[in-house]
Amino acid sequence: GHDGILRRQAQRESAARTYARSLPIVPVRARGLTIEGADGRRYLDCLSGAGTLALGHNHPVVLEAVRGVLDSGAPLHVLDLATPVKDAFTTELFANLPPALAADARIQFCGPAGTDAVEAALKLVRTATGRSGLLAFTGAYHGMSAGALDASGGAPEVRVTRLPYPQDFRCPFGVGGAEGAELASRWTENLLDDPKGGVPLPAGLIVEPVQGEGGVNPAPDGWLRRMREITAARGIPLIADEVQTGVGRTGAFWGVDHAGVVPDVMVLSKAIGGSLPLAVIVYRSALDVWTPGAHAGTFRGNQLAMAAGTATLAFVRENRLAERAAVLGDRMLAALRGLASGHPCIGDVRGRGLMIGLELVDPDTGAAAPALAAAVRQECLERGLIVELGGRHGAVVRLLPPLTLTDEQAAAVLDRLADAIPAAAR
Ligand code: PMP
């Protein structure tokens, strides 16, 4: 039963596990926004597999697509051979890419996880440019393998030069978003153009259009365009890590679409697999310098994930769920800003589409309040709402509901949160 399973997991599984420790839930059933535990308790799941479940749990079109493959007798494992299932996935994905990239795109299947795709992207640009350095940003999260970890915030820096993300200039220097973006842009330019103290020309620059794990920090559109200009002018491939922002999450199909930026490489995972493991990079064909076998991997042809992903991408496109996420996200952000006006412990409300963050602070000092954020998560859990924490200090409560969220569900999520915050602050 419920308690025995939790007890055995605590004994057998590494303490490195994350969600299991903060969420003492043994999920046995799930549909849409709702998860049901072995103890019969039901939760509204605004973690969504860390932003993976664009259509929520067990969406009928996803189940049907997976069953279709299972019932067809098609092979489930064929390395990276061509199959009708893969062909359909690639066709649907390319139909949704920024047109300027789709016109000239190559795809590489990378293995099950976002980290695998980040690694492939880093290796690709290093191979294509013959250079080794990488520019990445403070607060970034790109994965947990050595190369991906180097690019993430808070990791030991080996070959990575870390640049300030615009939000860094928010509080400490008391400047607004536009000025912060301007300062961050100049910082990057100065570093690249300074022959003495700067950095050698790097192999690439990797950026999340909205930082997720870093605490829901949307890249200002103008700043992202500047990054595009700065990299294009110097022949530096721009890598957009859309692992979390892709497939409608931010209120546009891709996070870069808000700024109209076309990256050289897009890193995709999470939602593109329709809740099953799938990760790819898509990039300008000029970068396709691989020789056959240069980047191999056994699990890069997950047929079930491709079928689930095709169904998800098509459903998001046909039902205009990116637009829906934009509208609903704006409404939720407005409601949360209203809530914040009555609760000085909510220091900031930010986000884009259905990628939303509330930063908890000490009302007296304005300092990040991770203990309070953890208490909010706990109070949410007790009210049947699953949220996640993020941000440099773990003080940002994150909401990543499915794009299929109804108005009523959004209201229920907001109600529970509005209840949980004063309870945690007490
Ligand atoms: N990039 C981004 C932007 C992510 O949010 C994540 C996961 N949260 C990753 C990469 C790594 O993906 P995975 O956990 O599947 O390796």
- Quick one: pLDDT at residue 154? 58
What is the model's pTM?
0.95
List the structure tokens of 265: 């490489």
**Is the CB–ligand 1 distance for residue 243 below 6 Å?**
yes
Cα 156 from chain centroid?
Answer: 22
- Which atom of ligand 1 sits closest to the CA of residue 145? 16
Determine if ligand 1 sits within 6 Å of the CB of residue 271: no
The owner of tokens 């479940």 is 53
User: From the CA of 174, how far away is ligand 1's center (Å)?
Assistant: 31
For the record, the structure tokens of 371 come out as 């203990």
- The alpha carbon of 409 and the centre of ligand 1 are apart by a number of angstroms equal to 26
Q: How far is the CA of 241 from the centre of ligand 1 (A)?
A: 9
Structure tokens of 20? 């299991």
Nearest ligand 1 atom to alpha carbon 140: 3
CB of residue 241 inside a 6 A radius of ligand 1: yes
Give every CB contact of residue 110 below 8 A, 6+ residues apart in sequence: 116, 117, 119, 120, 279, 280, 281, 297, 300
The yes/no answer to whether this complex scores an ipTM above 0.95 is: yes
Work out which ligand 1 atom sits closest to the CA atom of 118.
10
Residue 71: both structure tokens together: 């019932």
The finding on whether 326 has its CB within 6 A of some atom of ligand 1 is no
Calpha distance 4→23 (Å, rounded): 15
Residue 388 CB contacts under 8 Å (≥ 6 apart), including other chains:
19, 46, 47, 50, 377, 397, 398, 400
Q: Which of 243, 256, 275, 280 has most ligand 1 atoms within 8 Å of CB, for mutation?
A: 243
**Tell me, what's the pLDDT at 149?**
74
Name the residue type at position 365. T
Write down the residue that tokens 């891709």 correspond to.
Answer: 254
The protein residue whose alpha carbon is closest to atom 1 in ligand 1 is 142
Taking the CA atoms of 57, 329, 118 and 22 in sequence, report the sign of the dihedral they define.
negative
* Index of the ligand 1 atom closest to the CA of residue 211: 3
Determine the pLDDT at residue 141.
Answer: 95
142 lines ligand 1 (CB under 6 A): yes
From residue 149, how far is each of 118, 136, 143 by CA, in Å? 10, 11, 6
Contacts of 193 (CB under 8 A, 6+ apart): none
Q: Does ligand 1 lie within 6 Å of residue 50's CB atom?
A: yes
355 lines ligand 1 (CB under 6 A): no
Residue 176 confidence (pLDDT)? 54
Any atom of ligand 1 within 6 Å of the Cβ of 208: yes
Q: Of the candidates 369, 360, 368, which has an alpha carbon nearest to the alpha carbon of residue 417?
A: 360
C-alpha of residue 74 to centroid of ligand 1, in Å: 30
Left if phi > 0, otherwise alpha if psi is -120 to 50, otherwise beta: which for 172? alpha
Ligand 1 centroid from CA 143, angstroms = 5
Whether 118 is in the pocket of ligand 1, judged by its Cβ within 6 Å, is yes
CATH node for 80-161+202-318: 3.40.640.10
Query: Ligand 1 pocket, 242 CB below 6 A?
Result: no
What's the CA gap between 12 and 30, in Å, rounded?
Answer: 25
Residue 174: what pLDDT?
45
Burial of 342 (0-12, 13-18, 19+ CB in 10 A): exposed
Give the Å distance between the CA of 341 and the centre of ligand 1: 33
Q: Is 30 in a helix, a strand, or coil?
A: strand
Ligand 1 atom closest to residue 267's alpha carbon, by position in its atom list = 1
User: Cα(297) to centroid of ligand 1, in Å?
Assistant: 18
Q: Is 266 in the pocket of ligand 1 (CB under 6 A)?
A: no
Domain-wise residue ranges, the chain = 80-161+202-318
The residue written with tokens 């596990």 in the block is 17
* pLDDT tens digit at each of 426 positions of the chain: 999 999 998 888 888 877 777 788 999 999 999 999 999 999 999 999 999 999 999 999 999 999 999 999 999 999 999 999 999 999 999 999 999 999 999 999 998 999 999 999 999 999 999 998 999 999 999 998 887 777 776 554 457 888 888 877 765 444 457 788 888 899 899 999 988 878 999 999 999 999 999 999 999 999 999 999 999 999 999 999 999 999 999 999 999 999 999 999 999 999 999 999 999 999 999 999 988 888 888 999 899 999 999 999 999 999 999 999 999 999 999 999 999 999 999 999 999 999 999 999 999 999 999 999 999 999 999 999 999 999 989 999 999 999 999 999 999 999 999 999 999 998
Rounded-to-integer distance, Cα 139 and Cα 122, Å: 18
pLDDT value at residue 115: 96
